[in-house]
Structure 1
Amino acid sequence: DESVNTRHLGAALVSIAFLGAVIGGVGAPLITSVALQLDVPLDAAQWTLTVTLFAGAITAPVLGRLGAGSHRRASILVTSCLVALGGLLTAIPLPPGVVPIAVLLAGRALQGLGLGLIALLMSVARDHLPSERAHSTIATISVAGTVGIGVAYPLMGLIDQLAGLRIAYGVGFLISLTAVLIAWRTIPKDAPQRTPKVDYPGALLLGLGTLCVLLAVAQPAVWRMPWVGASVLAAAAIALTGWVVVERHTAAPLVDLALFSRGGLLRANAAMLTAGVGMYLLFSLLTRYVQTPARAGYGFGLSGVLAGAALIPFSVLGFVAGRVTPWFTTRMSARWTFVIYAGFVILAAVVFAIAPVSLVATLAAMAMLGFGVGGVSAIMPRLVLRDVPQEETSSVLSINQIVRSVGFSIGSAVAGLLLATATPAGALLPKEQGYCVAALCVLPLLVLSAALIAVARRSPQPMDA
């Protein structure tokens, strides 16, 4: 009985999104262990995180388009199974060498496919839940990534410390199996309808362009030889230009550019990009600062496990933001709700910049940042889905997920660049002032993001369920 299957659909969708976020966050706390145990350079181990983001960015628009037809349940189940297969590959114990790191990267790439499921889960909620429940569920799905980070970092760091790298990855595999089971039991069957054609040439060009952008901003190694970095950016420009041409001339575009270029939707995605850069810039600063050893004259020298525990306030407040967002939107517009959350990110940056020597102040900044990140993530679907036709839900949300991923990658790269600039010649660690200056760089980004949303005209029609 479908009513039985959908009775707890909201909780199931949130659980799948949360478990997927934990799986995606498995890579970050294990990078150092990968480098040490597989005997590879640290920048090579960094790819265990980067390749996940790449895979998610490339597959998200295709999954988003499939989610507009009668193969949404199948797309979710097949993708979840591929994520589980990726988890199995990461957990296989192999001796150090080229093959093990290649197998590990292949597994992490498959796990990255799960990042493209967020839009599909949101579209299921929009189609099968009553309006208010749909709004609340979509908001909670949006903050699952924030909560997942707060769980994955300390959990995987602790398991790695106690039982080893492969056991930590094995836990990720078990988590992915749990997500598959929940999806199989709860995702409702799709109503018979015409399955839209997938614009594979457009998907290839968009994926290539996105990949090149992420490579240029997230992998500083490509800029060791400037001509290589310039070539990567040129390839991104050519691929994305080609994508626009293809989308304008194909009968079944991957993204309806006429819809996407509407003022409100365009501003919302521009706001997500600038906010994403600022939020992840500050997140990178905070997580790196708390682990700075005492010999630097600042920082708290927290171990990997304790640094992960320091993210608990970030995760908890992010979850709280997701829960209170529907309450906010009943008392003010979605636009001003976004502005409030952007204000919390600004406040977090100011607190950290003026009182970095205080652990209490730093944890408070982490909590305020979590509230801001969770809130921005929760309210963004309502902003981008305003006046969007039902059948374009997953496609529009997929593009927004790509924009957010690119923003996060740029923020991470900018954090590294600013701290590298603040590092004296021959030194390993930047000056403390470098953290303060970098934190203040967050302010104009979030102010611009809030301004882009605040100036938008109020739409007469809210997001439908």
Structure 2
Amino acid sequence: MTTARPAQRHAPALAGFLVSVGLAGAVIGSLGAPLITAVAEAYDVSLAASQWTLTIALLAGAVATPVFGRLGAGPRRRTVVLGMLAAMVVGSVLTVLPLPLPFAFLLAGRALQGSGLGLVVLMMAVARDHLDEQRAARTIALLSVASTAGIGIGYPLSGFLTDVAGVRAAYGLGLVITAAALVAAFFALPEAPSRPSTRLDLRGAILLAIALPALLLVIGDTNLWRHHAATAIAILAAAILLLTGWTFLEAHTENPLVDVRLLRHPAVAAANLVMLTGGVGMYLLFSLITRYVQTPASAGYGFGLNTFEAGLVLVPFSILGFVAGRLVPGWRDRLGARWLLAASTAVVLAAFVLFAVARSHLVEPILAISILGFGVGAFSAAMPAVILAVTPKSETASAMSVNAVVRSVGFSTGSALGGLILAAHTTGVFPSESGYAAAAWIGAAATAATLVIIAILPLKRG
């Protein structure tokens, strides 16, 4: 019979394994972004088509996260995780092999890789079931950070491999990582504690698979909002209507995909709202800085960094994000969730202000994204404590999967908002530098609004 917790001598190894798997999922998910131009050239497709190598992975991850979160809540969690990793290996193979209809197989492979973005919430569930409370809190905090900070690892590695050996070599990195994670999981992943098995809510899964991609696509499509605003509003309204219907369905289903009763808890609802508004600002600044440093100096600003060099700019973002993730569990008992979230949001606000007023030297955007990394890391690490404080262990993956989807919506909104603001300040090829200042101050205002929300909503002490 499987015990709920392994011997303590195995706990550090299990914690390290869980964070590594979560980090692997984040790195694989981020492979699409720095390769968009290289893919367009290698596969002879447009940049708009190449963008789908990122978009399809994000959409697959958004849908897979709550579905696999529910499947992983039962006794078959080990099987679900191994199946997800196997699918990622197959997807990675499709991105590497020179197959007929190569771009179509590349998109299929990226979709399978994107499903692995749901691994993080399952690793959180494993930590909560098999580690003592203190170690579980530290591991869950790092897992929450890994889902964002992993970008700073994937970007420079994939950029370097693309420059040296071509785009298939960069995707080969994904194959190596996923294969290693599958082998490690086969030996290291424990069985889930004995729990009643529940059937998957197929109606809820299908409805979510329609509504959520529609929402994310319309939010992230800057051109649609610029040129066909009425259509964008209609699609957005339809997606929200479908999600409302999905919520009603889940509330009246015996074995729902997501237990919406937990989501109605004041602390959980408040945390998800804070995640949404905070995510808008965080990804807005992230996208502004990465775009700014790659703008050629001939535009009158910018530093003309290539893909690899721009990836290196993100390394401090990841390093300081993980540092914050390590520190937050120790601060949590002394400060509580509200103060931790407020402090981390204030750090993000400071990064916005710095970028808004100082961008003329490369060190300034690097400093701003470093500060942002610490703020995002602290914010991400503090968030699970708020939700899990009022969530049963059996619902860990499901509850955190919803928070992950909310974060995706916030990030997509932030990215689109930045694109729209810069587009409004573009008369030639590149936006005017004043567009970056305007976007930064708007993001600062959104981040300040998040501070107000944190102050007034009923967040419980984590």
After TM superposition, the score normalised by the length of structure 2 is 0.95
How far apart are residue 319 of structure 1 and its match?
Answer: 1.0
For the pair 1:19 / 2:24, whether they are aligned, the reply is yes
Q: Deviations for 1:353-379, whole angstroms, at most 9, x for unmatched residues?
A: 101112112111010001111111111
**Out of 51, 73, 80, which is 1:68 matched to?**
73
How far apart are residue 339 of structure 1 and its match?
Answer: 0.8
Tell me, in whole angstroms, the C-alpha distance in 2 between the residues paired with 1:453 and 1:392: 24
For the pair 1:343 / 2:357, whether they are aligned, the reply is no
Q: Deviations for 1:255-307, whole angstroms, at most 9, x for unmatched residues?
A: 22222112111111010001111000000000000011011111111111111
**Out of 107, 113, 121, which is 1:119 matched to?**
121
Tell me, in whole angstroms, the C-alpha distance in 1 between the residues paired with 2:335 and 2:437: 34
How far apart are residue 196 of structure 1 and its match?
Answer: 2.0
Provide the residue aligned with 1:446 in structure 2. Answer: 447
Tell me, in whole angstroms, the C-alpha distance in 1 between the residues paired with 2:25 and 2:262: 29
Provide the residue aligned with 1:281 in structure 2. Answer: 284
Tell me, in whole angstroms, the C-alpha distance in 2 between the residues paired with 1:312 and 1:249: 46
Q: Which amino acid aligns with 2:157?
A: L
Aligned residue pair count: 456
For the pair 1:295 / 2:298, whether they are aligned, the reply is yes
Q: Deviations for 1:370-409, whole angstroms, at most 9, x for unmatched residues?
A: 1111111111111122211221111100000000011111
After TM superposition, the score normalised by the length of structure 1 is 0.95
Equivalences for 1:68-217 in 2 at 5 Å?
A: 68-94=73-99, 99-217=101-219
How far apart are residue 327 of structure 1 and its match?
Answer: 2.0
Tell me, in whole angstroms, the C-alpha distance in 1 between the residues paired with 2:353 and 2:175: 39
How far apart are residue 94 of structure 1 and its match?
Answer: 4.4
Tell me, in whole angstroms, the C-alpha distance in 2 between the residues paired with 1:444 and 1:173: 41
Tell me, in whole angstroms, the C-alpha distance in 1 between the residues paired with 2:322 and 2:380: 11
For the pair 1:57 / 2:58, whether they are aligned, the reply is no
Tell me, in whole angstroms, the C-alpha distance in 2 between the residues paired with 1:141 and 1:87: 22
- Residue 9 to residue 350, structure 1, CA distance change in 2 (3 Å): same
How far apart are residue 317 of structure 1 and its match?
Answer: 0.7
Q: Which amino acid aligns with 2:400?
A: L
Q: Which amino acid aligns with 1:358?
A: H
Provide the residue aligned with 1:31 in structure 2. Answer: 36
Contact 1:70 1:193 in 2 (8 A): yes
For the pair 1:428 / 2:429, whether they are aligned, the reply is yes
- Residue 446 to residue 418, structure 1, CA distance change in 2 (3 Å): same
Provide the residue aligned with 2:361 in structure 1. Answer: 358
Tell me, in whole angstroms, the C-alpha distance in 2 between the residues paired with 1:320 and 1:200: 40
Equivalences for 1:411-422 in 2 at 5 Å?
A: 411-422=414-425
**Out of 317, 320, 334, which is 2:320 matched to?**
317
Contact 2:337 2:459 in 1 (8 A): no
- Residue 458 to residue 263, structure 1, CA distance change in 2 (3 Å): closer
Q: Deviations for 1:111-167, whole angstroms, at most 9, x for unmatched residues?
A: 011111111100110111000000000001111133311111111001000001111
Contact 1:146 1:370 in 2 (8 A): no
Tell me, in whole angstroms, the C-alpha distance in 2 between the residues paired with 1:184 and 1:200: 28
- Residue 7 to residue 264, structure 1, CA distance change in 2 (3 Å): closer
Q: Which amino acid aligns with 1:422?
A: H
Query: What is the percent sequence identity of the aligned residues?
Result: 48
Aligned to 2:31, the other structure's residue is in SS state coil
Q: Deviations for 1:76-113, whole angstroms, at most 9, x for unmatched residues?
A: 11001101111110111247xxx211111100000011
Provide the residue aligned with 2:242 in structure 1. Answer: 239
How far apart are residue 458 of structure 1 and its match?
Answer: 5.9
Contact 2:386 2:460 in 1 (8 A): no
Equivalences for 1:362-373 in 2 at 5 Å?
A: 362-373=365-376
For the pair 1:253 / 2:256, whether they are aligned, the reply is yes
Larger CA deviation: 229-238 vs 247-256: 229-238
Tell me, in whole angstroms, the C-alpha distance in 1 between the residues paired with 2:12 and 2:324: 25
Tell me, in whole angstroms, the C-alpha distance in 2 between the residues paired with 1:213 and 1:55: 13
- Residue 367 to residue 7, structure 1, CA distance change in 2 (3 Å): closer
Q: Is there any run of 5+ residues in structure 1 with no aligned partner, and where?
A: none
Q: Which amino acid aligns with 1:399?
A: V
- Residue 451 to residue 227, structure 1, CA distance change in 2 (3 Å): closer
Contact 1:147 1:318 in 2 (8 A): yes
Tell me, in whole angstroms, the C-alpha distance in 1 between the residues paired with 2:335 and 2:244: 39
